């Protein structure tokens, strides 16, 4: 629990310091960074779902105005190493440009470098590539079950991962349960699709042996991966972290883009810039998210108590894999959601297909898993004729049962799920919503109530890597902060990664201000480049409030201790008697006996003779923080403590569907949210609201749909539909606060909040609305067109008396 009993700055409604530059259009995004003599890249992409590259004729393109170079996959493959992958799959190499075989429509085959992007695009059209189309596979089940078509011949199958974990007495619990239920749930391929596409400028300086990289990046170990792939020392890669990233939510990984531009800049001797256009981004940016098929089976009793669950999750990762299959691992940390399910069998399967490569998406596989769990809870209630809220209350972990260890080995730190639900229904009556729903039904509308409860595991140690690939021994995911008090007493703190809207500068300032009792606005926060940086796991896995906030807290605490030690020594008192008060230190027994902030700065910076023996002069401290619950590798059964903190959210919504239109309209949206102590209320509210909107998109609108020829048919914002202000309802957030015992202020993660539960709530509401027609759907997104057809068919059947 926090050492600070009453907060000065934490939890107060303070402005977000980053906002000032953004409202004036003065953010520094990668497109805004113009290095002298920069040349531009455009890409030639494969038009087939799979094809052998027979020949590439660059001659006409090379004659086009402004063209400097045309790079193909053969040259690049000879000069670089394949990109880092998460699983142990050496025969599934991934490279920036297709080499010999292209494996999805839109894959990058040739890169054209010209004076301007327009000239590069013109020349790209003149590159003539002869392809021999190959058989392809799009469907995950087909890829899993048949070896007739192999995406990577040398790998011998399409399966990258197939691991089954059994935690607890699953067979016994199934045998002992009077009731069972099976459900198949499909999460369609969508992603976070930031409004800024990925961009990078790479600039090689041969006289300093230095590759300067400016990129819109959110990627752990980015500099390592670039150096390794380019076969240059990582000390020759300087990633600039002071680049504003125009949205990411997981996907701005950009490793292939950066290796490509890094190679070109080294080869050609000038800075090379690649800013994806929207087509390059949607087809070949390798930024698709999960496409997952769940087969769930649960064993329960007549009271609706769910005792055991079997889940198979089949992930269609696309043509190549980086970290994306690990998205089957994160859900292990909350595999039973907020429920007391005693035993679980979990089979995680990842297959390659001829679709665009995936990367990490907000929640890292947790949001799809929550849809599977929450759809199942609804169906358990339905078959028993019990209320869906009541079923959840009965199965949920109670407040007095924390800390609570789930079958897969993670101990949930804290929570009060029933209290959150009680608060939500006190705000908006559940029974009242039923009356409202039923009134809509009597008016000829379809209407449904959606419920979803789920956890947000946050701040983890990435042991899912070791769980799914025993060759990887990851049990830490650090973050760090360095605090320096300068010779006139001003404070500068560092953070060591980029941000994409999470307000990390505000977080660092607030944490340090709280410890040192100094106005956070007076604390400068800077981002050194990667060669000057301490370790950072980057803003993934809802971790920065816990890990960066924690690192800033600890670094500041070290300085506070040093200031008190200096003061006690100078005052000639034992340090136990020294009292710290807003930067000044006084003697508890004689408060007028004191040293001011400036006195202490003077001593530390200039008067070594007044420092305690052996103390380093100056006032600087660093902290590299380990995940609060530590790091141990999974045991033989795959049990592991992954995430130190679990935030909780409960969604309650009312949806209306006009049966003639099939268009769902969310009339009411309530969310009860508990992420422990809120550090900045504005930021947490924004994360939650944005997450809900993103989840509504995944549930109703957004899908990277493919046709039978393997062509991506949602390549623009005309067909990949993003929720506008009209599609996002007026959401009411009901706050609750159960502090985490493991974190410095009691905070938990909130970067994935809203998104983890809203798709499940929407899916459950629509199914409740469809119930009177005797139909249901478990395939997301539930598109207006599908819904309209389903309703029309059901009504026709009904009128025929079927």
Partner 1 sequence: MRINLDINGEIRELDVEPRTSLLDCLRDHVGLTGAHTGCEHGVCGACTVLFDGVAVRSCLMFAPQAEGSKITTIEGVTPGPGEMSVIQDAFCETHGMQCGYCTPAMVLVAHALLIDNPNPSRDDIVDAISGNICRCTGYAQIIDAIALAAERLRGANRPVELTK
Residue 582 · residue 538 · CB < 8 Å: no
Beta bridge partners of 585: 580, 595
785 contacts partner 1 (rule: CB under 8 A): no
691 contacts partner 1 (rule: CB under 8 A): yes
Give the largest CA-CA distance in the chain.
98
Q: 386 by DSSP, 3-state: which? A: coil
The sign one gets for the Cα dihedral 74, 79, 85, 89 is positive
Of 96-104, 176-184, 510-518, 684-692, which segment contacts partner 1 by CB under 8 A? 684-692
15 contacts partner 1 (rule: CB under 8 A): yes
CA distances from 173 to 307, 409, 421 (A): 6, 18, 29
246 contacts partner 1 (rule: CB under 8 A): yes
Of 28-36, 201-209, 461-469, 607-615, which segment contacts partner 1 by CB under 8 A? 28-36
Of 45-53, 100-108, 496-504, 590-598, which segment contacts partner 1 by CB under 8 A? 496-504
Residue 24 beta carbon to partner 1: minimum distance, rounded to whole angstroms: 5
Which residue matches tokens 């660059």? 58
127 contacts partner 1 (rule: CB under 8 A): no
> Binding residue for partner 1 (CB under 8 A) from 278, 394, 558, 594?
278
18 contacts partner 1 (rule: CB under 8 A): yes
16 contacts partner 1 (rule: CB under 8 A): yes
218 contacts partner 1 (rule: CB under 8 A): no
Residue 66 beta carbon to partner 1: minimum distance, rounded to whole angstroms: 12
> Binding residue for partner 1 (CB under 8 A) from 72, 126, 173, 196?
196
DSSP secondary-structure letter at 618?
S
- Which residues, numbered 389-418, are part of the site for partner 1 (CB under 8 A)? none
From the list 455, 472, 446, the residue with the least C-alpha distance to 420 is 455
Please report the DSSP string for 134-203 in residue order: ------HHHHHH--SS-SSGGGSSSEEEEEEEEES-HHHHHHH-SEEEEEEEEE-------SS--EEEEE
Q: Which is nearer to partner 1, 18 or 436 (CB)?
A: 18
Q: 228 by DSSP, 3-state: which? A: helix
31 contacts partner 1 (rule: CB under 8 A): yes
> Binding residue for partner 1 (CB under 8 A) from 4, 7, 8, 27?
27
501 contacts partner 1 (rule: CB under 8 A): yes
690 contacts partner 1 (rule: CB under 8 A): yes
Give the 3-state secondary structure of 553-616.
Answer: HHHHHHHHHHHHHHHHHHHCCCHHHEEEECCEEEECCEEEEEECHHHHHHHHHHCHHHCCCCCC
Q: 93 by DSSP, 3-state: which? A: coil
Q: Which is nearer to partner 1, 23 or 636 (CB)?
A: 23
Residue 663 beta carbon to partner 1: minimum distance, rounded to whole angstroms: 16
> Binding residue for partner 1 (CB under 8 A) from 23, 78, 488, 636?
23
242 contacts partner 1 (rule: CB under 8 A): no
Residue 73 · residue 45 · CB < 8 Å: no
37 contacts partner 1 (rule: CB under 8 A): no
Q: 621 by DSSP, 3-state: which? A: strand
How far out from the chain centre does Cα 177 lie?
37
Of 102-110, 188-196, 222-230, 386-394, which segment contacts partner 1 by CB under 8 A? 188-196
Give the pairing of strands 179-187 and 779-780: parallel
DSSP secondary-structure letter at 797?
H
713 contacts partner 1 (rule: CB under 8 A): no
Q: Which is nearer to partner 1, 108 or 249 (CB)?
A: 249
Pairwise CA distance, residues 586 & 580, whole Å: 7
Pairwise CA distance, residues 787 & 802, whole Å: 20
401-405 long-range contacts, CB within 8 A, separation 24+: 401/340, 403/741, 404/340
Q: 45 by DSSP, 3-state: which? A: strand
22 contacts partner 1 (rule: CB under 8 A): yes
Q: Which is nearer to partner 1, 250 or 628 (CB)?
A: 250
Residue 290 · residue 327 · CB < 8 Å: yes
> Binding residue for partner 1 (CB under 8 A) from 60, 531, 722, 792?
722
From the list 756, 765, 770, 650, the residue with the least C-alpha distance to 698 is 756
36 contacts partner 1 (rule: CB under 8 A): no
Q: Which is nearer to partner 1, 194 or 628 (CB)?
A: 194
> Binding residue for partner 1 (CB under 8 A) from 3, 78, 154, 195?
195
The footprint of partner 1 (CB under 8 A) covers 15-16, 18-27, 29, 31-32, 118, 192-197, 244-249, 275, 277-278, 500-503, 682-683, 685-687, 689-694, 716-718, 722, 724-726, 728, 730-731, 754
């Amino acid at each position: 629990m926090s050492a600070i009993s009453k907060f000065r700055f934490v939890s107060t409604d303070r402005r977000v310091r980053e906002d000032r530059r953004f409202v004036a259009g003065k953010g520094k995004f990668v497109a805004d960074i113009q290095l002298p003599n920069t040349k531009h890249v455009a890409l030639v992409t494969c038009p087939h779902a799979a094809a052998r590259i027979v020949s590439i004729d660059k001659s006409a393109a090379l004659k086009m105005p402004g063209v400097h170079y045309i790079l193909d996959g053969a040259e690049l493959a000879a000069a670089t190493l394949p990109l880092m992958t998460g699983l142990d799959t050496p025969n599934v190499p991934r490279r920036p440009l297709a080499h010999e075989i292209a494996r999805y429509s839109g894959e990058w085959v040739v890169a054209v470098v010209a004076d301007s992007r327009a000239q590069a695009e013109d020349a790209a059209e003149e590159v003539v590539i002869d392809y021999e189309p190959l058989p392809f596979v799009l469907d995950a089940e087909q890829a899993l079950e048949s070896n007739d078509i192999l995406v990577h011949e040398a790998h011998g199958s399409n399966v990258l991962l197939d691991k089954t974990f059994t935690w607890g007495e699953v067979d016994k619990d199934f045998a002992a349960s009077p009731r069972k239920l099976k459900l198949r749930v499909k999460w369609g391929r969508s992603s976070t699709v930031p409004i800024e596409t990925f961009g990078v400028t790479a600039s090689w300086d041969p006289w300093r042996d230095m590759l300067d990289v400016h990129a819109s990046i959110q990627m752990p170990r980015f500099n390592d991966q670039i150096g390794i792939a380019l076969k240059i020392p990582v000390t020759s890669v300087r990633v600039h972290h002071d680049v504003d990233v125009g949205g990411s939510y997981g996907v701005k990984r950009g490793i292939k883009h950066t290796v490509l531009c890094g190679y070109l800049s080294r080869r050609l001797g000038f800075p090379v810039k690649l800013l994806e256009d929207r087509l390059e981004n949607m087809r070949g940016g390798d930024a698709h998210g999960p496409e997952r098929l769940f087969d769930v089976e649960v064993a329960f009793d007549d009271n609706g108590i769910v005792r055991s669950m079997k889940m198979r999750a089949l992930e269609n990762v696309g043509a190549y894999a980086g970290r994306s299959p690990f998205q089957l691992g994160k859900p292990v940390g909350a595999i039973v959601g907020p429920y007391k399910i005693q035993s679980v069998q979990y089979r995680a399967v990842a297959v390659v297909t001829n679709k665009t490569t995936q990367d990490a998406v907000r929640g890292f596989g947790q949001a799809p898993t929550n849809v599977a769990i929450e759809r199942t809870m609804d169906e358990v209630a339905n078959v028993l004729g019990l209320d869906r809220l009541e079923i959840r209350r009965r199965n949920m972990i109670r407040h007095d049962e924390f800390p609570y260890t789930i079958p897969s080995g993670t101990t949930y730190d804290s929570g009060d799920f029933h209290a959150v639900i009680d608060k939500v229904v006190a705000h908006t009556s559940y029974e009242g919503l039923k009356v409202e729903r039923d009134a809509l039904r009597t008016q000829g509308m379809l209407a449904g109530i959606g419920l979803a409860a789920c956890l947000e595991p946050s701040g983890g140690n990435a042991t899912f890597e070791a769980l799914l690939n025993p060759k990887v021994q990851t049990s830490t995911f650090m973050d760090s902060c360095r605090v320096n008090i300068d010779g006139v007493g001003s404070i500068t703190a560092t953070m060591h990664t980029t941000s994409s809207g999470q307000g990390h500068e505000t977080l660092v300032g607030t944490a340090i201000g709280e410890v040192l009792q100094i106005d956070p606005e007076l604390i400068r926060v800077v981002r050194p480049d990667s060669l000057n940086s301490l370790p950072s796991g980057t803003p993934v896995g809802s971790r920065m409030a816990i890990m960066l906030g924690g690192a800033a807290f600890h670094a500041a605490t070290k300085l506070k201790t040093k200031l008190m030690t200096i003061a006690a020594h100078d005052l000639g008192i034992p340090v136990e008697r020294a009292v710290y008060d807003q930067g000044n230190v006084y003697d508890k027994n004689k408060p007028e006996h004191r040293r001011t902030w400036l006195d202490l700065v003077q001593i530390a910076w200039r008067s070594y003779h007044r420092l305690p023996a052996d103390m380093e002069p100056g006032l600087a401290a660093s902290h590299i923080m380990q995940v609060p619950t530590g790091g141990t590798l999974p045991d033989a059964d795959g049990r592991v403590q992954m995430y130190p903190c679990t935030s909780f959210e409960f969604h309650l919504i009312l949806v209306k569907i006009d049966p003639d239109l099939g268009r769902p309209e969310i009339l009411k949206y309530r969310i009860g949210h508990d992420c422990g102590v809120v550090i900045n209320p504005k930021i947490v509210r924004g994360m939650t609201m944005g997450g809900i909107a993103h989840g509504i998109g995944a549930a109703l609108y957004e899908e990277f749909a493919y046709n039978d020829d393997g062509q991506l048919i949602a390549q623009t914002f005309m067909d990949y539909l993003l929720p506008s202000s009209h599609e996002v309802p007026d959401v009411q957030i009901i706050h609750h606060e159960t502090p985490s015992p493991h974190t410095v202020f009691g905070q938990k993660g909130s970067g994935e909040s809203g998104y983890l539960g809203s798709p499940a709530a929407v899916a459950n509401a629509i199914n409740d609305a469809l119930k009177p027609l005797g139909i249901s759907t478990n395939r997301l997104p539930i598109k207006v067109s599908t819904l309209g057809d389903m309703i029309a068919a059901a009504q026709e059947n009904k009128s025929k008396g079927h």
